[in-house]
Amino acid sequence: MNEKLTIALTKGRILKETLPLLARAGIEPLEDLSSSRKLVFATTRAEVQLVIIRGTDVPTYVRHGAADMGVVGKDILLEHGAQGLYEPLDLGIARCRLMTAGPVGWQGSGARIRVATKFVNIARRHFARQGVHAEVIKLYGAMELAPMMNLADLIVDIVDTGNTLRANGMEPLEEIAAISSRLVVNKAAMRSRYTAIQRVIDDLAALLEADDAAA
């Protein structure tokens, strides 16, 4: 077993907000991530290493114990499930909303609707709960193109400022879930490496509490 405590981080937008938080907890990569093509980084806390991967891969690494802990968006946990994981902390970073959206002025016809999204499980659950018959079409990107090209009536996507929707003649309709990044922990590692893991959780929790108190 790898003796270092491995934390899997989601690359991209979430990483940019995670690194300052980790740095305040005394965990900083020993080299500049942006100028390196490496995927594994030693840190200023000798027993901790970071791996930088896609968000959808973070729960997989942590579930299988290839990483002990991870930082991942709640959207990914809702879509792909959180089996084998503890979710001890809401880090409150990379906040956004998972929403349905449609062309401005769109009126539901009442008949079956077509929904384009990369969050197919979330979309199916959402429309099933509402008793709406939806055909869910899986896409991997540029969801807002689908209604314009008549591939779908609505989309389910992440909305932050809403600028992407507006720029494409669409508007947000319903909020499905508020999203932020979560700390996740492998359940077996939580027992076998309790002290090291709990130290990271406690350090981050103390920072978040201090930020809340200052707000």
| Interacting residues toward ligand AMP by CB under 6 A | 13, 73, 94, 96, 157-164
Q: Are 196 and 47 in contact (CB under 8 A)?
A: yes
Its sign, for the CA torsion 85, 180, 74, 5, is negative
**How far apart are CB 12 and ligand AMP at their closest, in Å?**
7
**How far apart are CB 150 and ligand AMP at their closest, in Å?**
20
| Alpha carbons 215 and 212: distance in angstroms, whole number | 5
| Alpha carbons 138 and 136: distance in angstroms, whole number | 7
**How far apart are CB 94 and ligand AMP at their closest, in Å?**
4
**94 or 200: CB nearest ligand AMP:** 94
Total Cβ atoms within 10 A of residue 23: 13
**165 or 189: CB nearest ligand AMP:** 165
> For residue 124, what is the enclosing H or E element?
helix 120-129
**59 or 73: CB nearest ligand AMP:** 73
**How far apart are CB 184 and ligand AMP at their closest, in Å?**
16
